[in-house]
Amino acid sequence: MSDDNRIVMRRPIVEMDGDEMTRILWRKIKDTLLYPFIALNTEYFDLGLPERDRTGDAVTHNAADAVKRLGVGVKCATITPNAQRVEEYNLQQMWPSPNATLRALLDGTVFRAPITVRNIIPSVRTWRKPIIIARHAYGDIYKSVEMRAPGAGVAELSFTDPEGNKTVLPIHRFEGAGILQAVHNTDASIEAFARSCFRFALSSGQDLWFAAKDTISKRYDHHFKDTFERIFEVEFKGAFETAGINYYYMLIDDAVARVVRSEGGFIWACKNYDGDVMSDMVSAAFGSLAMMTSVLVSPNGQFEYEAAHGTVTRHYRKHLAGETTSTNPIATIFAWTGALRKSGEMDGGAALVDFANRLERACVDTVESGQATRDLQPLSASPMEVLSTDEFLTAIKERLAKA
Ligand code: NAP
Ligand code: MG
């Protein structure tokens, strides 16, 4: 405890501010729910678009370096510029997505986790606990080379090593026109993905599922399967046994069938395309983007937490026009609690871990008591009182202060 009875943070975490409505929420969350209880200790980086533009995006790179150094970060949603944003903000250039930059610099995997509350019932009846999706974010069809075969001809797959030795495999002898696609992945990326998944499973105490189509894809998908198996056996098996959790490999079609019959409560690691598709399926079935958090985990065990949604531009325009908003802060609050809990776990800060748990409980209890922001009303199984952003934050604070 500090002199004023607030919880002390023994080590700083990286704080990355963002844009629009979520930047407004960021300030409100800190003022209402964090500062009164914690002597916040952060290294602050302003990833808001004006500052990224002013620094030539150096601020994003500096923030990533800080996450590498300090191990834990929390990030506000940020604008990924497009042509319209370049004009709106009078940008020097169309800066890349900060999330893509962070992911590349940390070599990390993104885990998306729904926040579940009793009165929002998932579309899949059996789901009682969250299903966390880990999507491999490199290669496969997202880095494919494609070609139209205009007519009859021979397609081949060829590889040339630095000495000029060539390996050539026939793909297909076309009788008429057709289409071709070549995809790749790298050992380094698959290994980093596997390590991030095993680390996150350990960190969250949940089973890990990984699925591919190794029966059909005997070199490509089989290599994913073998890589996961080898890294598990050599580096993680003991720790999984101690933690009482399991690793399961299965075929992707088998996994899909099992997932919809499961009660949830596990991590589902997906290849790039499967993750793209399945993360939207899982988040839609759980209810709302505003109730989805996300954490980027590097293979070296660095953690960066954020909400899965964007900067909620439509609400920001209303806010600027002086109208009252009802924007859901829960995913952003859970980004903070995720980072604070992780930081507490890393340095034995039990009070910080306890605070994070109590703040999450206060959010869930407030929604379960029937008070929430507008987005949750149509999803709720019981009558819901719609609060403004400020009223909702105050309701959470009152619960937290009582706890
Ligand atoms: P968005 O900000 O996620 O919002 C889309 C819609 O979802 C909102 O208009 C709102 O619906 C609803 N929504 C999302 N979060 C909500 C919340 N917390 N509370 C209540 N409703 C919520 O997506 P977008 O409008 O497509 O993108 C806006 C900006 O965010 C873009 O510039 C994009 O680049 C950026 N973005 C950033 C990230 C990130 O940093 N991780 C991710 C995605 C997008 P209603 O309007 O119907 O109320
Ligand atoms: Mg998708």
Residue 370 pLDDT: 96
Which residue's alpha carbon is nearest to atom 15 within ligand 1? 290
Cα–Cα distance measured from residue 20 to residue 90, given in angstroms and rounded to the nearest whole number: 16
pLDDT per position as a tens digit, 175-194 = 999 999 999 999 999 999 99
Q: Where residue 57 sits, what CATH number does that domain have?
A: 3.40.718.10
Q: How many residues comprise the chain?
A: 403
Domain carrying residue 327: 1-120+287-403
Q: Give domain status of residue 130, yes or no.
A: yes
Which residue's alpha carbon is nearest to atom 27 within ligand 1? 310
Residue 1 pLDDT: 65
Q: Give domain status of residue 187, yes or no.
A: no
Question: In this structure, are 130 and 248 located in the same domain?
Answer: yes
In a mutational test of the pocket of ligand 1, which residue from 289, 326, 327, 393 has the highest number of ligand atoms less than 8 Å from its CB?
289
Question: In this structure, are 128 and 262 located in the same domain?
Answer: yes
Domain count, the chain: 2
Distance 308 CA to ligand 2 centre (A): 12
Q: Whose atoms come closest to the Cα of 275: which ligand?
A: 2
Which residues does 320 contact at the CB level (< 8 Å), separation at least 6?
none
Which residue's alpha carbon is nearest to atom 8 within ligand 1? 312
In a mutational test of the pocket of ligand 1, which residue from 312, 373, 386 has the highest number of ligand atoms less than 8 Å from its CB?
312
Cα–Cα distance measured from residue 297 to residue 210, given in angstroms and rounded to the nearest whole number: 17
Residue 403 pLDDT exceeds 80: no
Question: In this structure, are 350 and 264 located in the same domain?
Answer: no
Residue 217 pLDDT: 97
Q: Give domain status of residue 183, yes or no.
A: no
Question: In this structure, are 83 and 17 located in the same domain?
Answer: yes
Question: In this structure, are 269 and 295 located in the same domain?
Answer: no
Residue 107 pLDDT exceeds 90: no
Write the CA distances from 59 to 45, 78, 305, 307, integer angstroms.
7, 13, 18, 20
Question: In this structure, are 127 and 271 located in the same domain?
Answer: yes
Range with top average pLDDT, 9-13, 94-98, 170-174: 170-174
pLDDT per position as a tens digit, 267-290 = 999 999 999 899 888 988 988 889
Question: In this structure, are 211 and 342 located in the same domain?
Answer: no
CB contact at 8 A, 293 and 308: yes
Residue 364 pLDDT: 97
Residue 48 pLDDT: 98
Q: Give domain status of residue 87, yes or no.
A: yes
Cα-atom radius of gyration of the chain, to the nearest Å?
Answer: 23
> What average pLDDT does this structure show over 282-304?
89
Question: In this structure, are 96 and 203 located in the same domain?
Answer: no
Distance 292 CA to ligand 1 centre (A): 12
Q: Give domain status of residue 237, yes or no.
A: yes
> What average pLDDT does this structure show over 282-308?
90
What is the pTM (predicted TM-score) of this model?
0.90
Cα–Cα distance measured from residue 116 to residue 118, given in angstroms and rounded to the nearest whole number: 7
Q: Give domain status of residue 185, yes or no.
A: no
> What average pLDDT does this structure show over 343-348?
90
Question: In this structure, are 75 and 129 located in the same domain?
Answer: no
Q: Where is the domain boundary, 259, 280, 301?
A: 280
Ligand 1 closest atom vs CA 22: 18
Q: Give domain status of residue 228, yes or no.
A: yes
Q: Give domain status of residue 148, yes or no.
A: no
> What average pLDDT does this structure show over 328-345?
97
Question: In this structure, are 307 and 394 located in the same domain?
Answer: yes
> What average pLDDT does this structure show over 168-179?
98
pLDDT per position as a tens digit, 117-129 = 999 888 898 999 9
Question: In this structure, are 221 and 294 located in the same domain?
Answer: no
Q: Where is the domain boundary, 218, 248, 280?
A: 280
Residue 134 pLDDT: 95
The region of weakest confidence among 78-87, 198-207, 247-256, 345-354 is 345-354
pLDDT per position as a tens digit, 222-258 = 999 999 999 999 999 999 999 999 999 999 999 999 9
Q: Whose atoms come closest to the Cα of 276: which ligand?
A: 2
Name every protein residue with a CB atom under 6 angstroms from any ligand 1 atom. Answer: 77-80, 99, 289-290, 306, 309-314, 327-328, 373, 375
In a mutational test of the pocket of ligand 1, which residue from 75, 102, 311 has the highest number of ligand atoms less than 8 Å from its CB?
311
Distance 51 CA to ligand 2 centre (A): 29
Residue 2 pLDDT exceeds 80: no
Ligand 1 closest atom vs CA 75: 40
If you average pLDDT over every residue of the chain, what do you get? 95
Question: In this structure, are 262 and 299 located in the same domain?
Answer: no
272-144-271 Cα angle (round to 5): 15
Which residues does 9 contact at the CB level (< 8 Å), separation at least 6?
38, 39, 40, 41, 340, 343, 349, 352
Nearest CA-CA partner of 336 in 351, 355, 311: 355
Q: Where is the domain boundary, 234, 254, 280?
A: 280
